[in-house]
Amino acid sequence: MSYNYNNSYYPPPQQSGYPPPPPPPEQQQQPYGYYGGDQYQQPQHQQPQYQQPPPPPPPDTYYPPPQNYGNGGDFKGAKQYNREPKFRDLWAALLFLAQFALFVVIAALFIKSLPSTTFKHSGNLSYTKNFYSWPTMIMWLCVLLVSIVFSLIYLGLMQMFAGQMLVISFWFAVVSMIGTGVYYLAAKIWFAGGIMLIFGILYALMWFSWRHRIPFSKLVLEVVCHITRRFPSTIVVSVAFLILQAAYSAFWSLAFAGSFKHMEQYQNCSTHTDRNGRQYQSCSNPKQILAWVFMIFSFYWTSGVILNVLHTTICGTFATFYFFEGSPQGYPTKHVTLSSLKRAMTSSFGSICFGSLVVAIIQTLRAIVRAIRSQNDDNLAAQLLACCADCILGCIEAIVEFFNKYAYVEIAVYGKPFMAAAKDTWTLIKDRGVDALINDCLIGNVLQMGAFLCAAVVALVAWLYITITKPEYNTSGSYTAPIIIAAFVLAMSMFMVLLKCIDSGAATTFVCLAEDPDAMARNNPRLFAMVREAYPRVVQGVHAVDGF
């Protein structure tokens, strides 16, 4: 594979029926600079003009560059690449470290308050009276291992059968919705059953308008899987961060369980008399509520930082391949993924913490609103207001997460501060038509199907474990449903973490394509030709509009 180094797309050689186009005009090189001092300089890009546009290249055809290829040519991606990163949004990194240190101190106090029998066991899995015990930890370890194995198998299937997986995932969603609707109707839940059936039928009818997206989605998935095979370290890093997230979640769960016992000492109770002369006791514990709010906020922020560091690391790896694969100077570093991880953990860490902080605040507010809803079941007005607030916050959260996903690509490639990356992402989405490119990509359907299947298999494993071992704390069966639901949710989230390499790779491909389509023209002419035909605004380049 090879890349274009002089900021222009080289047409294919002369073929019968097509007169040769003139060479691209000489262009005035602009001072790119990935940062000039403290001010980010937008690079200037001008699309070459031809008297007659060249025909799209046939599939799997490579056209060699001109004779002066690599001899003094300027490579836009190489100039903009984050070679000498600067620390950005340092205040956010320091604030994150401060809150994490505070959480560790509080968690240590809460865990000490757990019963002394916690994690003490005689060795027989059946005689387990305490939920927080080693047999239970073994069950969650099995959940983790099965999730990792299933995710790796599913990733292999995606690489071997990209097109088939796209079709299967579409109809899997249809069958799931219709099946859920039929189940609700059988259970006499008429409204929910009718809604699911209607959505399932409408989704099936959309096949006729969506099937044209499959060739494009298949090609994108094949490109992403090819780069993943080229850098298997992306999968290794994903597994490492999955284990890190699982360990943090287990530690947080223990601390949250211990908070009930530890915060009892701060509870204030008082006796009151109602209008009928009957006495009742009212208790309040504002310190416990504040502790819970902080712990929930800390969980959202820390989990977001962990996942976004992984996302930024993979984005940096894919961007390095996109700009430097096949170039004369080669890669800017020997260990591409390790170098990308280093940047994400140092110079870009503050920007990652900043973006994760915004989402964590919204998620914490949603958790508070949901708690208010659960405490006011008899108050219709409070329920209505809380429901509206939850809906609005949910929409805001989805929008912020969508933009953050692509803003982290800008951070990974160019080392921008978070606000500059968010602003450039808005320009990318609004002016270049990348939103159409994203909406027409069906890779998300394949990942969602895999997450559901992984969650179903892992939930079955958890059910088998608790059924076979029959722990004493579950003699009444009260723990069975919560454990199965928890295993289902955890497996789904772990699957999405492990296959972050696919999701992040697709996002990086879209951003880099809009930023510098010439590199894609040389690297993958099939994908470039398909995008140029269906999405002409995208291949103009994100900065090309100023040149027209």
What's the angle, vertex CA 147, arms to CA 144 and CA 150, rounded to 5? 150
Q: What is the pLDDT of residue 67?
A: 33
Q: Are strands 279-284 and 268-273 parallel, antiparallel or unpaired?
A: antiparallel
**Taking Cα atoms as reference points, which of 228, 367, 359, 350 lies closest to residue 292?**
367
Q: Quick one: pLDDT at residue 118?
A: 56
**Rounded to the nearest 5 degrees, what angle is found at the Cα of 117, between the Cα atoms of 112 and 123?**
135
| Rg of the chain in Å (alpha carbons) | 27
- Residue 79 phi, psi dihedral angles, 5° rounding: -70, -35
Structure tokens at 539: 């291949």
With beta carbons less than 8 A apart as the criterion, state whether 505 and 320 touch. no
Q: What is the pLDDT of residue 124?
A: 53
Provide the pLDDT for residue 408.
94
Contact 146, 133 (CB under 8 A): no
The torsion of the CA quartet 226, 230, 232, 233, rounded to 10 degrees, works out to -130
- Per-residue three-class SS string for 335-394: CHHHHHHHHHHCCCHHHHHHHHHHHHHHHHHHHHHHHHHHHCCCCHHHHHHHHHHHHHHH
Q: How far apart are CA 159 and CA 154, in angstroms?
A: 9
Residue ranges of alpha helices (H) inside 415-499 are 418-431, 434-439, 443-469, 480-498
pLDDT computed for residue 116 by the predictor: 63
Taking a C-beta distance cutoff of 8 angstroms, is the pair 370, 292 a contact? no
Residue 129 CA to residue 97 CA, distance in Å, equals 37
Q: State the DSSP H helix or E strand holding residue 284, giving kind and residue range, or none if neither.
A: strand 279-284
pLDDT in 10s for each residue of the chain, 548 residues: 433 333 333 333 443 343 444 454 444 433 333 333 333 344 444 444 444 444 544 443 333 333 333 333 344 444 455 555 678 899 999 999 999 999 999 999 988 887 665 555 555 544 455 656 667 778 888 888 998 899 889 888 888 888 888 888 888 888 988 998 898 898 888 888 898 899 889 988 888 877 888 888 888 888 888 889 889 999 999 999 989 998 898 889 888 888 888 877 777 877 777 777 777 777 777 888 899 999 999 999 999 999 999 999 999 999 888 888 767 777 788 889 999 999 999 999 999 999 999 999 999 999 999 888 877 667 778 788 888 999 999 999 999 998 899 999 999 988 889 999 988 888 877 776 677 777 768 788 888 888 888 888 888 888 888 888 887 777 777 778 888 888 888 888 889 888 888 889 988 988 887 777 777 776 677 777 877 776 676 666 444 433 32
pLDDT at site 308:
95
> Structure tokens of 371?
């708690």
**DSSP string covering 200-269, please?**
HHHHHHTHHHHGGGHHHHHHHHHHHHHHHHH-THHHHHHHHHHHHHHHHHHHHHHHHHHHHHHGGGG-EE
